[in-house]
Structure 1
Amino acid sequence: MTPLLELRGLGVRYKGAVAPALEGVDLDLAAGERLAIIGESGSGKSTLARAVAELLPQTVIQQGTVAWPGLDQKARNGRDIGFVFQDPASSLDPVMPVGDQVAEVAHANLDMDWRAARRLAVELLDRVRLPEPALLAQAYPHQLSGGQKQRVAIAAAIVARPRLLIADEATSALDTIVQAEIMALISALVAEDGMALLFVSHDIALAANLADRVAVFRHGRLVEQAATAELVSQPRTDYSRALLAAHLGLHA
């Protein structure tokens, strides 16, 4: 089966860094598949997510290929790729109503006039389970809770029903209860729209509840990948066993 996304020999080095952030990564993602990218801070997982979405700074040195065999063309941010960042506050404009921010994505990527884009924004705010979406659309980010801001960011990411949704540590800034709610929301939206999911996290327990497959990264290298159930029950590397012990309470 032709993969949606294909990485071959992907390497990334930041200017002035001693070691590469990513090195020699070969990885595929099928259409509709849920893949978790797991590793400690500095393992290269967020760099990989940004490389896929072409969000890395121009100063990086990038090697290898990021190909999209499952698309007729190169993937477009906002249209084919939706991206949800770790800190929703940093991805939202503090001086623009949140409904207009979602509408702006629709206006830019779906060639909608502003009236239609604003109507769609309210529908999407309702879809991500925000209360009184028409009223909330007029609110500014500082008037919302962290969980509400992340729901707005998710609404903006799914405006065009992208083929791939990337969630880069999208729940790590939230408390446990809100984190579970956002995870359930992402899972439901991915299933409803048939999107592939690239879920980046340091927490393998979250990945085990969401992903079909897990790819484990350490020091910029892919050290293990397997179906979630297989990796949890029979990890092949000491590093994966240590992650499981830390987040699932298992013996390493």
Structure 2
Amino acid sequence: MRPLVTLRSLSVAYAGRDHAALKPLDLDILDGEKLAVIGESGSGKSTLALAIAGLLPATARIGGDLAWPEIRAIGRHRPQGGRDFGFVFQDSAASLDPVMPIGTQIAEVARAHLGLGWPQAHEQAKSLLARVRLPDPDSVMGAYPHQLSGGQKQRVALAAAIAAGPRLLIADEATSALDTIVQAEIIGLIRRLVEENGMTLLFVGHDIALAAELCDRIAVFREGDMVELGETGQVISQPRHAYTRALLAAHIVLDAEPLRAGARHG
């Protein structure tokens, strides 16, 4: 597989902090793969996701090179949200406009990037709500975020993220705020949407069991460093770094089945 995104000696630091949020990193995100970036809070994993999406704050100092080869080949230097990537955040409520109906929010994405008129964009939005398995899409179209549950809002966020058919879906802690049952439903939904749409997935989180269940490769981050990278089966069955082994040990008793499923990826 060819690389969709390439990182060469990429580093990120924030003004006023003594240490880098992300130390120099070389990584290719391959077109069509499902890559998990796993680590504890402060490990640099979300900084990486924001850097790839071009969403870092103005205070960030970025070193090295981050490129989308196909975008660069056609003369664009930055990816466009919605068109090139869709981003699903941990807090779905914060990513939705509280005073705009759900249908309008999704339709705006389709309108902006697909050139659809409002009637076609609204039909596209309703179709997307059905695809993310929200019951009664007609009612959801006219609802506001505060009228939906956390799981429903995350499904809406997924629908908006894929509305313009992006090449890359970035899910940054997209399931960590949900209960176990809803979390499993969202993971299954992400997998299905990625496969149906032929998207690349960057799954960012702290749960190595979920990563094993969902992804082809796992990158493990600690204190701004990528300490391990490999195929899912290899990382799960033969971890090379002590930190990876510690993450696995935290799940073996309570969550062994997803780990066994993940090992079968290899």
TM-score if structure 1 supplies the norm length? 0.97
Q: Which position in structure 2 is the counterpart of 1:52?
A: 52
Alignment of 1:202-241 (within 5 A): 202-241=206-245
Q: Which amino acid aligns with 2:20?
A: P
Q: For residues 11-50 of structure 1, what are the structure 2 equivalents within 5 Å?
A: 11-50=11-50
The answer to whether the Cα contact below 8 Å between 1:2 and 1:70 also exists between their aligned partners in 2 is no
Amino acid at match of 2:235: L
Offset at residue 2 of structure 1 (A): 2.7
Q: Is the CA contact 1:31–1:70 (under 8 Å) kept in the aligned structure 2?
A: no
| Equivalent residue number for residue 158 of structure 1 | 162
Q: Does 2:140 correspond to 1:136?
A: yes
Q: Write the mapping of 1:76-87 to structure 2, written as runs, cut at 5 A.
A: 76-87=80-91
Runs of 5+ unmatched residues, structure 1: none
Query: Which residue of structure 2 aligns with residue 117 of structure 1?
Result: 121
Unaligned runs of 5+ in 2: 257-266
Corresponding residue for 2:99?
95
Q: Which is worse superposed, 73-82 or 239-248?
A: 73-82
> 72-81 or 161-170: which moved more?
72-81
1:188 aligns with 2:182: no
Q: 1:51 corresponds to which letter in structure 2? A: A
1:12 alignment partner, SS class: strand
Shift in Å at residue 242 of structure 1?
A: 0.3
- What's the CA shift for 1:70? 4.1
Q: TM-score, normalised by structure 2?
A: 0.92
Aligned length: 250
Query: In the alignment, residue 177 of structure 1 is paired with which amino acid?
Result: I
User: 1:6-56: per-residue Cα shift (whole Å, max 9, x none)?
Assistant: 111110011111100001111111111000000010000000000000011
Residue 104 of structure 1 pairs with residue 108 of structure 2: yes
Determine what percentage of the aligned residue pairs are the same residue.
Answer: 63
- Contact 2:90 2:174 (8 Å CA) reproduced: yes
Coordinate RMSD, CA, aligned: 1.1
Tell me if the contact between 1:5 and 1:29 (Cα under 8 Å) persists in the aligned partners.
Answer: yes
